[in-house]
Amino acid sequence: MKRTFVFILAALAAAALFAGLVHAVLVAAHLSEPAGTTVYGATPRRVWATTAVVIALAGVAIGALALARPASRFGARNGSMGAVVALVAGLIAAVNGGLNLAIAKGGPGSGNGVIGGAAALVLGLIGMVLGGLALIRSRGIGAGVTHR
């Protein structure tokens, strides 16, 4: 029972941290004010932002797998492929999320994919960090391993 409670509490804390980071990105980009009129449905920029979020989520998942299981399919035995994939996916997502925010002309609800762009930026950076940590771990840097 204690373990389940801790997992639920950790998930809620992670969700709150993610929401706070997305809000901070929107405030920093001066796009935190909602639009005067709300646009419903899929717009090209919303689809772009959603695609970037999906790529970012894939990068985070692969980076977490590479970090948690370094000797698995995505780990060190495979030439640190998972770490590199997480780094590249995170970079692609972060750049696309940032570009989406840079060209947006309105806040949330304007049809510009502002929330998705901010989420892609944050998740892309998280994926890059996880991939970098997995790459460092797989190469033995800082673990006293010498390469010749």
3-state helix, strand, coil in the chain (%, to 5): 70, 0, 30
Alpha-carbon distances of 31 from 42, 102, 108, 112, rounded to whole Å: 19, 10, 7, 11
| Residue 140 in this model has a pLDDT that exceeds 80 | no
pLDDT in tens, 63-119: 998 888 766 555 445 558 888 999 999 999 999 999 999 998 888 888 888 999 999
Q: What's the rounded Cα separation, in Å, for the pair 137 and 98?
A: 28
**CA–CA separation, 58 and 89 (whole Å):** 7
Share of the chain above pLDDT 90, in %: 36
The whole-angstrom separation of Cα 111 and Cα 40 is 7
What are the residue boundaries of the structural domains of the chain, listed by start?
Answer: 2-139
Task: Tell me what pLDDT residue 71 has.
Answer: 61
What pLDDT, on a 0 to 100 scale, did the predictor assign at position 37?
77
Rounded-to-integer distance, Cα 16 and Cα 34, Å = 20
Q: Are 117 and 49 in contact (CB under 8 A)?
A: yes
**How big is the chain, counted in residues?**
148
**pLDDT at 144 (0 to 100):** 53
What average pLDDT score do residues 28-35 get?
79
Which pLDDT band, with edges at 50, 70 and 90, does 120 fall under?
A: very high
Does the pLDDT of residue 126 top 90, yes or no?
yes
To the question of pTM greater than 0.95 for the whole model, the response is: no
- Confidence at residue 143, expressed as pLDDT on a 0 to 100 scale: 53
Tell me, what amino acid is at 117?
G
129 CB-side CA count, 13 A? 6
**pLDDT of residue 20 exceeding 80:** yes
Asked if 89 contacts 64 with a C-beta cutoff of 8 angstroms, the reply is no
Mean pLDDT taken over the chain: 84
